[in-house]
């Protein structure tokens, strides 16, 4: 049992023993093996849901934990079953009770929260969110992301997610892709999606994503906001008092003027504007930097927000227009990652790593 206490359920972030998933252990002597006593060990595991997608991982980790026993040669045999409804209901009730409604609003929470906003649409918020999240995860941070663009969700596509979140008696498990725990309305179909969309929609769906999803306590939470200067940013400030706003713009005035207004939301609600990211700053044409969308928008937004808000709002990154950003995004892998899921050694990946480190500093 002590060895199994180190086996963590990947979705719930708790040990399988804490979660009551070990229903029984039988040990039968089996002679000796290389001078050590040998035993056959049968472990009865009860998974939370039938056909749990992580069943193989959990069973593999349990097998490895038993095989690592130092003082005897143990031959593991794992019997997999599913928890009774009653036991699962108890487990979920226990987890819910211990967690406040919105785990990120409680005092002392360590999670850094960054909301990515823009004003103008199509400037690359979602691409920046996806690549920044993948970068944080690749750098070793426990990373989560919420697709807060309810009508124009795009994170499932950018991360190549086609599966649905596991629903444990009304508690949803985020889907992990490229190391990032994700939730998006795009992961729900039919009736589930209709439920999320009911009522005063935006505020409710954000609250549901925060309180009905089992997040654990990630190091970083990113929110990909819808374009516009309004409602969602206010909801974020109200529900997530620690959230910091990152304003994305392109270099052109028509984007940067609206981006400033998106940042000025911080005059209405208490929310720190952390910095500005300029996207599509240039296109590298055989070594020549073509400024397709003009010049200076990021710096203009940073200067104007610094003046209006009375604290430093720096221009934190300038990112090139790069066909891979779109192509890889459409293929479901953030462009900063190689096929192996590690940070690629490209200038783009270095820019994102620099941004991630600056944000955490």
Spatial distance between the Cα atoms of 164 and 157, rounded to a whole number of angstroms:
13
Report the candidate in 231, 241, 237, 185 with the shortest Cα–Cα distance to residue 208: 185
Residue 326, contacted partner among Mg ion, ligand ATP, none, CB below 5-8 A by kind: ligand ATP
Q: Per rule CB under 6 A, is residue 118 in the interface with ligand ATP?
A: yes
160/241 with CB nearer ligand ATP: 160
Q: Which of residues 326-345 bind ligand ATP (CB under 6 A)?
A: 326, 329
Q: Write down the least CB distance from residue 280 to ligand ATP, Å.
A: 5
Give the other-Cβ count within 10 Å of 268's Cβ.
11
User: 263: annotated binding-site residue?
Assistant: no
Report residue 239 as tokens.
Answer: 């529900």
Cβ neighbours around 213 below 10 Å, total: 18
Nearer to Mg ion, 11 or 147 (CB): 147
x-or-dash string of contact with ligand ATP, 142-171, rule CB under 6 A: -------x--x-x-----------------
With CB under 5 A, what is the number of residues at the site for Mg ion? Answer: 3
- Tell me the two tokens of residue 169: 């008696």
What separation in angstroms does the CA of 86 have from each of 43, 104, 169, 188? 21, 29, 11, 26
Helical packing angle, 125-138 and 347-360, nearest 10°: 80
Give the 3-state secondary structure of residue 222.
strand
Residue 49 CB burial class (10 angstroms; 0-12, 13-18, ≥19): middle
Q: Is 119 annotated as a binding residue?
A: yes
Name the residue nearer to ligand ATP (CB basis): 91 or 280: 280
Q: Tell me if 250 contacts ligand ATP by CB under 6 A.
A: no
Q: Is 121 marked as a binding-site residue?
A: yes
Q: Using the minimum distance from each CB to ligand ATP, give the nearer residue, 173 or 262.
A: 262
Helix, strand, coil percentages, rounded to 5, for the chain: 35, 25, 40
Give the integer Cα–Cα distance in Å for 202 and 151. Answer: 10
61 binds ligand ATP (CB under 6 A): no
Output DSSP code: residue 283: E
Q: Which is nearer to Mg ion, 124 or 297 (CB)?
A: 124
Q: Closest separation between CB of residue 229 and ligand ATP, Å?
A: 12
Binding mask 199-238 for ligand ATP (x = CB under 6 A): ----------------------------x-----------
Of the residues 126, 131, 176, 229, which one makes contact with Mg ion according to CB under 5 A: 126
DSSP state of 179: T
**d(C-alpha 156, C-alpha 58), whole Å:** 25
Count of residues of this chain found to bind ligand ATP when the rule CB under 6 A is applied: 20
Mark the segment that binds Mg ion (CB under 5 A) among 99-107, 146-154, 186-194, 195-203.
Answer: 146-154
What is the closest distance, in whole angstroms, from the C-beta atom of residue 180 to ligand ATP in the complex? 16
DSSP letter for 8, please: B
Q: Which positions make up the binding site for ATP? A: 119-126
Q: Which residues bind Mg ion (CB under 5 A)?
A: 125-126, 154
């Amino acid at each position: 049992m002590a060895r199994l206490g180190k086996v963590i359920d990947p979705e719930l972030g708790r040990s399988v023993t804490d979660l009551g998933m070990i229903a029984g252990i039988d040990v039968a002597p089996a002679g000796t093996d290389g001078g050590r006593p040998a035993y056959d060990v049968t472990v009865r595991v009860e998974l939370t849901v039938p056909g749990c997608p992580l069943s193989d991982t959990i069973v593999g980790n349990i097998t490895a934990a038993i095989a690592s026993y130092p003082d005897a040669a143990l031959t593991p045999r794992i019997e997999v079953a599913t928890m009774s409804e009653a036991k699962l209901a108890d487990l979920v009730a226990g987890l819910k009770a211990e967690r406040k409604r919105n785990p990120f609003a409680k005092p002392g929470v360590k999670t850094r929260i960054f909301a990515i906003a823009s004003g103008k649409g199509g400037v690359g918020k979602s691409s920046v969110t996806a690549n920044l999240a993948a970068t944080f995860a690749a750098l070793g941070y426990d990373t989560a992301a919420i697709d807060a663009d309810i009508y124009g969700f795009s994170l499932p596509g950018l991360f190549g997610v086609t599966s649905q979140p596991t629903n444990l008696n009304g508690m949803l498990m985020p889907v992990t892709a490229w190391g990032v725990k994700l939730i998006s309305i795009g992961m729900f179909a039919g009736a589930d999606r209709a439920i999320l969309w009911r009522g005063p929609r935006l505020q409710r769906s954000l609250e549901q994503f925060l309180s009905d999803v089992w997040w654990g306590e990630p190091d970083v939470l990113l929110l990909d906001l819808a374009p516009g200067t309004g409602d969602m940013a206010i909801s974020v400030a109200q529900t997530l008092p620690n959230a910091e706003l990152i304003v994305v713009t392109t270099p052109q005035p028509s984007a940067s003027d609206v981006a400033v207004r998106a940042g000025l939301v911080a005059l209405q609600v208490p929310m720190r504007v952390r910095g500005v990211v300029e996207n599509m700053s240039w296109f590298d044409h055989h070594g020549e930097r073509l400024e397709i969308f003009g010049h200076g928008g990021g710096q203009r937004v940073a200067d104007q927000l610094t003046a209006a808000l009375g604290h430093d709002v720096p221009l934190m990154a300038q990112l090139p227009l790069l066909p891979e950003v779109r192509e890889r995004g459409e293929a479901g892998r953030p462009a900063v990652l190689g096929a192996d899921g590690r940070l690629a050694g490209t200038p783009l990946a270095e820019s994102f790593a620099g941004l991630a480190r600056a944000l955490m500093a």
